[in-house]
Amino acid sequence: MTDSTKTLCPYCGVGCGLEVSPPAAAGKATNRDSQGNPVWKVRGDKAHPSSQGMVCVKGATIAEAIAKSRLRYPMVRDSLNEEFRQVSWEEALEKIVNRIQTVRLTQGADAICMYGSGQFQTEDYYIAQKLMKGCLGTNNFDANSRLCMSSAVSGYIQSFGADGPPCCYEDLEQTDCAFLIGTNTAECHPIVFNRLNKYCKQNRNVKMVVVDPRYTTTAEAADLHLAIHPGTDIDLLNGIAHLLMRWGCIDLDFIEDCTSNFPAYAEVIQDYTPEMVAQKCGISAADLETAARYWKESKRVLSMWSMGVNQSSEGTAKVRTIINLHLMTGQIGKPGAGPFSLTGQPNAMGGREAGGLAHLLPGYRSVKNPQHRAELEQLWGLPTGSISSETGRNTWEIITGLESGEVGVLWIAATNPAVSMPDLERTKAALLRSPFTIYQDAYYPTETAAYAHVLLPAAQWSEKTGVMTNSERRVTLCSAFRQPPGEAKADWEIFAEVGRRLGFTEQFAFSAATQVYAEFTKVTRDRPCDMSGLSHERLRAEGPQQWPCPESELGKSDRHEKAKRLYTDFKFHTPDGRAKFAAYHSRGLAEPPDPQYPYVLTNGRLYGHWHTLTRTGRIDKIQQMHPNPFIEIHPRDAASLKINNDDWVEVRSRRGKAKFPAKVTKAIAPGTVFVPMHWGALWAEQAEANALTHPESCPDSKQPELKACAVQLIPLSNNFFSYQEAEQYDPAPSPISV
Ligand SMILES: Nc1nc2c(c(=O)[nH]1)N[C@H]1C(S)=C(S)[C@@H](COP(=O)(O)OP(=O)(O)OC[C@H]3O[C@@H](n4cnc5c(=O)[nH]c(N)nc54)[C@H](O)[C@@H]3O)O[C@H]1N2
Ligand SMILES: Nc1nc2c(c(=O)[nH]1)N[C@H]1C(S)=C(S)[C@@H](COP(=O)(O)OP(=O)(O)OC[C@H]3O[C@@H](n4cnc5c(=O)[nH]c(N)nc54)[C@H](O)[C@@H]3O)O[C@H]1N2
Ligand code: SF4
Ligand SMILES: [Mo]
C-alpha cells in the first residue's frame, strides 16, 4: 500500500474527507511518534463535498495517535483485583461464549447487555444488532448515543414520523439566518462553522444568532448572543414564537396544508410574553425581540443544535420546540432552511440507521412495531418471534441492572463509560459489581479497562474497512490503509465470530466488511434511510454519497440533487403525512440550584481534545493547546468567594466532588460555572466532570441531563481556607440566578 487513501476523519460528525499517505517517501526520513511508530501523513481531501479539503487540528493530527498505547492481545482475569493475563483469541472467545450460554440458561437473554458507540463503523453496528436483537433475542443494545443524540432522534421521530436531519451543508451557504442553539460549533464542529462563518462574513446581511449560557468562540462570531440561563431554551423558543404570532408572521398555508396540532401549540405560546421570557431567560426583552425579528425578516432560517439542547431532562421537548418554529414559519424542505441537528460522533448517524439504540431496529425501524420485527426476522432467517417486543435496557438502565444483579454479562465496546457516564461514583460502583464485563477497545489503558474481566483488542479506523455517515446524511467509505497492531480485529468480526460459535453460522457467514454492508443496505430498502443503491464498490468508485439512495434512483441525473434535503415535497413520515406541532411548557432543570448548592455546573468540550483523551491526550500539539482542566467562574462569583485566577476550587454536588484551578472570566454567566468533560482518572487527579452530574433524563429520549447540575464551590488554596478547613466548610448562600 504505497498510494494515498481517501477516507473520513474518525472524530466528529462533520465528517471531513481525509487523504492519508504512507509515512516515508523513498529516500526521505520517516516521521515517527514518541513511541517510535511511523506517522502517516494526513491532509484534507479536496474532493470531499462535505469539507472541500478543510480539516481542524484533530483531523490533521489523528495519525500521531493511532499507533500509540494500543491494546494488542486479548487479556482475561477471573476477578477485578487480579492482574490480566494475555490469552489466545481461542481462549478468550471460549470464555465469552460459555458465559453467554450459561447466563442465557440461568438468567435469560435479557441478562446480557451490550453498550456500543457512535465510533463504530456501520458494519460493526449492524452485526451487533443482528447478534443481540436477532439471534440472542434481547434488545439490550444501547450506545453512547443515548448520552448524545437520542433527544434529536426522538424529536425528529415525533415531529416528522422518522429520524434523519433534513438539511445539508450547502444550506450553510444559502441561509439568511443561522440560529445556533446549545452548540459550540466553532470548537466542536469546526468545519461546519468555518463554512458558515466565511459565508456570514462575505454577506453582512446574513445573521448569526448563538444561544448559549457561555460566551463561546462561536458566540464571539455572532450578531446576537443570547446568554440564557441554563435550561431555559423552551421559554426562549416559545417567546420567539409568541412574538411571531403577535406580529402575524406565520406561514398559514404551510400550517394548514402540511402540519397537525397547531391549535394546542398556539395556546401554549400565548403565555410566553416578552417580559416573562426575558426575565426567565435572564436576557433583555430587546434581545429577545431582535432574535424574533431575525426569524421574521429571514426568508430562510437554518437552526443548528447539539448537546446544549439534547443533554437535557426535557431534551425531546427542546428539539420539538425548535422544530415548531420551523413549521410555524414554513422553514423546511428548501435551500438554506430547516432544523439541523449536528451529530456528535463520526458515525452516530450510521448507528441510528443500523438501529443502534435499545428501542430501534436496523433501517429506521422500531422494536415496538410487529411488522418491523417480522421484516427483520425474515431477512435474517430467524423464526417468527425471535426479536423481542420489549424495549431493551438503555444506558442508565444497564447501570441500574448491574445494581440489582439482573445483568449477568456486560459487553462494552468503543466507549469509555468510566469517564463519560453521569454520576460516576454510582456508575463505577455498579461496574465493580458486574459479574462479567467484556471490554473491547483500541487503546490500553483506559479508565474502563479497570472494570473488565476480558479485554478484547479492537482494530480501529485506518485498520479496518467500513462506512460512516456524517451529519448531512453523507456516507463515506473508510478503507483500511495499515495493519492492525498485534492480534486486534474489527469489532464486527469479533461479534460475528461469537455469533457463529453460539450456533448462528448462517447468520454470520461473512468474510469481508463489503458483504456485511451489502446485507445492511438491503435491510434499508424502502425505508426512510434507503441506501439500497449503495455498496462499498460504488462508494469507492463514485466517492461519498448522501442518502436516500434507493437502487431505483441509480442512473437518474437528479439523484444527487434529490438526496440533498428531506421533505422537499412537504410530505412527512407520520401516518397522516403531516408534521406534528408539539405543545410544551418549559419545566426547567431537573436539579435547579438552591441555597445549599447555589451554582449551576455546565460542561462541554474544548477545540483540540476528543472526549476521554484516549487519542488526543497522546498528541503533543494538542496537549500543549489544552494542558489542564479548569473551571470557568464569573468575576462576580469569584469575588464573592474570594477566588483568584489559578486558585484551586473544590466543586461539590450531591453525588461527588472534583477540583480544578479557577479561570475567572466573563465568558460564563454569573451563577453558572463551566468545566471541560475530557479529563478522567488516568489524566488528572479528581477533575471528572461526571463525578458531579446526575442521571435524571428526558422521559421520551431517556437522555440524561449531563449539561446541568447544582454545585457548591469551595476555594481551596487562598488565604481563607486550607483543604482540611474546606472539608468542614458550609458555603454561604450565594445569589441564585435561575
Ligand atoms: N473538539 C471536540 N469536538 C467534538 C467533540 C469533542 O470531544 N471535542 N465531540 C463530538 C461530540 S460526540 C459531540 S456530542 C459534539 C458536542 O458538541 P457541542 O454540543 O457543541 O459541545 P458541548 O461543548 O458539549 O456543548 C455545547 C454548549 O452547550 C452549552 N449549554 C449548556 N447548557 C445549555 C442550555 O441549557 N442551553 C443552551 N442553549 N446551551 C447550553 C454549553 O455552554 C456549551 O457551550 O461535539 C463533537 N465534536
Ligand atoms: N459531563 C459530560 N459527559 C458526557 C458528555 C458531556 O457533554 N458532558 N457528552 C456525552 C457524549 S455526547 C458522548 S458522545 C460521550 C463520549 O464518551 P465516550 O464514548 O466514553 O468517549 P471516547 O473517549 O470517545 O471513547 C471512545 C472509546 O472507543 C475507543 N475506540 C476508538 N475507535 C474504536 C474502534 O473502532 N473500536 C473499538 N472497539 N474501540 C474504539 C477509544 O479508544 C475510546 O476508548 O460522552 C458523554 N458524556
Ligand atoms: S471538523 Fe470534525 S471531522 Fe472535520 S477534521 Fe475536525 S474533527 Fe475531523
Ligand atoms: Mo456525542
The domain that contains 314 carries what CATH number? 3.40.228.10
Q: Is the CB of 611 under 6 A from ligand 3?
A: no
Whether 519 and 390 share a structural domain? yes
Boundary (domain end) residue, out of 309, 341, 373? 341
Q: Given this model, what pLDDT does residue 719 score?
A: 45
363 lies in the same domain as 509: yes
Number of independent structural domains in the chain: 4
Other C-beta atoms lying within 10 Å of the C-beta of residue 137: 18
546, 468: one domain: yes
360 and 322 in a common domain: no
For residue 668, is pLDDT > 70?
A: yes
* Model pLDDT for residues 674-710, shown as the tens digit of each residue: 999 999 999 999 999 999 999 999 999 999 999 999 9
Distance 231 CA to ligand 1 centre (A): 14
Rounded distance between C-alpha atoms, residue 214 and residue 225, angstroms: 9
CB contact at 8 A, 463 and 478: no
User: Do residues 322 and 437 both lie within one domain?
Assistant: no
Digit-coded pLDDT (tens) for 326-379: 999 999 999 999 999 999 999 999 999 999 999 999 999 999 999 999 999 999
Cβ neighbors of 200 (< 8 A, separation 6 or more) are: 178, 206, 207, 208, 221
Query: Could you tell me the pLDDT band of residue 730, with boundaries at 50, 70 and 90?
Result: low
- CATH number of the domain bearing residue 29: 2.20.25.90
Q: Which residues pair with 475 in a beta bridge?
A: 469, 545
- Residue 366 shares a structural domain with residue 494: yes
Q: Is the pLDDT of residue 2 over 80?
A: no
Decide: pTM greater than 0.85: yes
Edge-first strand listing for the sheet containing 17-21:
5-8, 17-21, 41-44
Residue at 584 is within a domain: no
Q: Please tell me whether residue 35 adopts helix, strand or coil conformation.
A: coil
What confidence score (pLDDT) does residue 689 get?
98
pLDDT digits (tens, 9 = 90+) for 188-235: 999 999 999 999 999 999 999 999 999 999 999 999 999 999 999 999
Q: How confident is the model at residue 727 (pLDDT cuts 50, 70, 90)?
A: low
For residue 609, what are the CA distances in angstroms to 619, 674, 710?
9, 16, 25
Look at 718 and 267; give whichever has higher pLDDT. 267
* Protein residues within 5 Å, CB atom, of ion ligand 4: 148, 344
Residue 735 pLDDT grade (very low, low, confident, very high; cuts 50, 70, 90): very low
Strand order in the sheet with 75-76: 85-86, 75-76, 454-457, 437-441, 409-413, 112-116, 141-143
Same domain (yes/no): 366, 249? no
User: 660: domain CATH number?
Assistant: 2.40.40.20
CA-wise closest residue to 521 among 503, 496, 490, 548: 548
Cα–Cα nearest to 410, from 148, 380, 10, 421: 421
pLDDT digits over 613-626, tens only?
A: 999 999 999 999 99
* Angle at CA of residue 515, ends 7 and 534, nearest 5°: 60
Q: Give residues with Cβ within 8 angstroms of 371, minimum separation 6.
A: none
14 Cβ closer than 6 Å to some ligand 3 atom: yes
> The CATH number of the domain where 107 resides is what?
3.40.50.740
**Model confidence over 641-667: pLDDT tens digits?**
999 999 999 999 999 999 999 999 999
Which residue ranges have their beta carbon within 6 Å of ligand 1? 12, 148, 181-184, 187-188, 211-214, 216, 230-231, 233, 306-308, 344-345, 602, 604-605, 607, 609-611, 707-708
Predicted confidence (pLDDT) per residue in 238-254, tens digit: 999 999 999 999 999 99
pLDDT, residue 723, reads 47
For 259-407, where are the alpha helices, taking DSSP H only?
A: 262-269, 274-281, 285-297, 307-310, 315-328, 348-353, 370-379, 395-404
The rounded mean pLDDT for the chain is 96
Say how many Å lie between the first and final Cα of the chain, rounded. Answer: 58
Mapped to the 3 state alphabet, what secondary structure does 284-309 carry? CHHHHHHHHHHHHHCCCEEEEECHHH
List the 301-305 sheet strands across, edge first: 224-226, 207-211, 177-181, 301-305, 338-341
Separation of CA 309 and ligand 1 centre (Å): 9
531 located within any domain: yes
Domain that holds residue 251: 166-341
476 and 500 in a single domain? The answer is yes
Instruction: Look at residue 315 in the predicted model and tell me its pLDDT.
Output: 98
- The confidence band for 31, taking pLDDT boundaries of 50, 70 and 90, is confident
Whether the CA torsion 19, 619, 444, 658 is positive or negative: it is: negative
C-alpha cell at 4: 494515498
Confidence of residue 29 (pLDDT cuts 50, 70, 90): confident
pLDDT confidence band for 75 (50 / 70 / 90)? very high
Element (H, E) at 637: helix 635-640
Same domain, 472 and 605: no
| In the block, residue with C-alpha cell 433524563 | 697
